[in-house]
């Protein structure tokens, strides 16, 4: 499957509502802010090949104003080489149908250990996400869709490398609060 088909397929699975209600109303979409409480700018990493597969050649290519972060400077696996990063501008509104993987998967992170995929919630959080206190309310179709989406994305070698790298780092720093085997969630 080509990378653009992989991304669109993953977006389809990862498009389920998190809760029965709109979770953004619980927190004024806290995870979409582009400045921290102390005024520091924060943004979102796109996954490897996501920009090229989804946004390049569309109107979003210019709107996103991506920065290219090299593995020589940032904590990015050398074999991934670089990742695109951007600051979301809520005032322009969410481009919801094509929102990136990171926006879809949060608060779950993909975790690979001995080749097995699980979903984890990290201890270290930069967002005060109310969902972290309501994990039992997350829709099963949301969890299933996120898992399925990551399974599909892991076909892209650089995505797999990045997920493996982040998983090792998470283990090294004991940064797992909850870990879900897909069978536990469903
Ligand atoms: S994922 Fe969490 S922080 Fe983001 S909008 Fe939903 S409840 Fe708010
Ligand atoms: S793309 Fe949408 S969901 Fe993602 S950070 Fe921007 S406003 Fe939030």
User: Ligand 2: residues whose CB is within 6 Å?
Assistant: 32, 44, 88, 90, 94-95, 99, 103
Quick one: pLDDT at residue 181? Answer: 80
Return d(Cα 97, Cα 70) in angstroms, integer. Answer: 28
Is 35 exposed, middle or buried (CB count within 10 Å of its CB: 0-12, 13-18, 19+)?
exposed
Quick one: pLDDT at residue 34? Answer: 87
Quick one: pLDDT at residue 117? Answer: 96
Tens-digit pLDDT string for the chain (186 aa): 899 999 999 999 999 999 988 999 999 899 999 888 888 899 999 999 999 999 999 999 999 989 999 999 999 999 999 999 999 987 788 999 999 999 999 999 999 999 999 999 999 998 889 999 999 999 999 999 999 999 999 999 999 999 999 999 999 999 999 998 877 655
User: Ligand 1: residues whose CB is within 6 Å?
Assistant: 23-24, 26-27, 29-31, 106-107, 127, 129-131
- Biggest alpha carbon–alpha carbon distance for the chain: 43
Quick one: pLDDT at residue 120? Answer: 96
Checking DSSP bridges between strand 109-113 and strand 176-180, what pairing results, if any? Answer: unpaired
Instruction: Output the CA torsion 116→121→122→125 (10° steps).
Output: 150
Quick one: pLDDT at residue 133? Answer: 92
DSSP output for 32-75: G-SB-TTS-B--EEPPTTHIIIIITTSTHHHHS--EEEETTTSS
Closest ligand 1 atom to the C-alpha of 29? 5
Beta strands in the chain (DSSP E): 44-45, 67-70, 82-86, 109-113, 116-122, 176-180
Asked if 83 and 101 count as a contact pair (C-beta separation under 8 A), the reply is no
Measured in Å, residue 95 CA sits from the centre of ligand 2 at 7
Quick one: pLDDT at residue 184? Answer: 63
Quick one: pLDDT at residue 185? Answer: 59
Quick one: pLDDT at residue 67? Answer: 96
């Amino acid at each position: 499957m080509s990378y653009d088909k992989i991304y669109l397929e993953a977006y389809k699975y990862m498009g389920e509502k998190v809760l029965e209600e709109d979770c953004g109303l619980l927190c004024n979409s806290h995870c979409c802010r582009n400045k921290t409480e102390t005024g520091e700018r924060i943004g979102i990493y796109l996954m490897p090949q996501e920009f090229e597969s989804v946004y390049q050649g569309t109107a979003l290519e210019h709107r996103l104003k991506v920065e290219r972060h090299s593995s020589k400077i940032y904590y990015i696996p050398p074999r991934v080489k670089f990742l695109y990063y951007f600051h979301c501008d809520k005032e322009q509104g969410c481009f919801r149908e094509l929102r990136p993987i990171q926006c879809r998967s949060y608060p779950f992170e993909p975790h690979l250990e001995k080749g097995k995929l699980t979903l984890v919630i990290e201890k270290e959080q930069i967002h005060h996400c109310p969902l972290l206190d309501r994990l039992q309310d997350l829709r099963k179709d949301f969890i299933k869709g996120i898992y399925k989406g990551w399974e599909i994305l892991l076909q892209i070698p650089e995505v797999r490398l990045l997920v493996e790298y982040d998983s090792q780092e998470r283990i090294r720093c004991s940064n797992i609060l909850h870990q879900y085997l897909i069978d536990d969630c469903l």
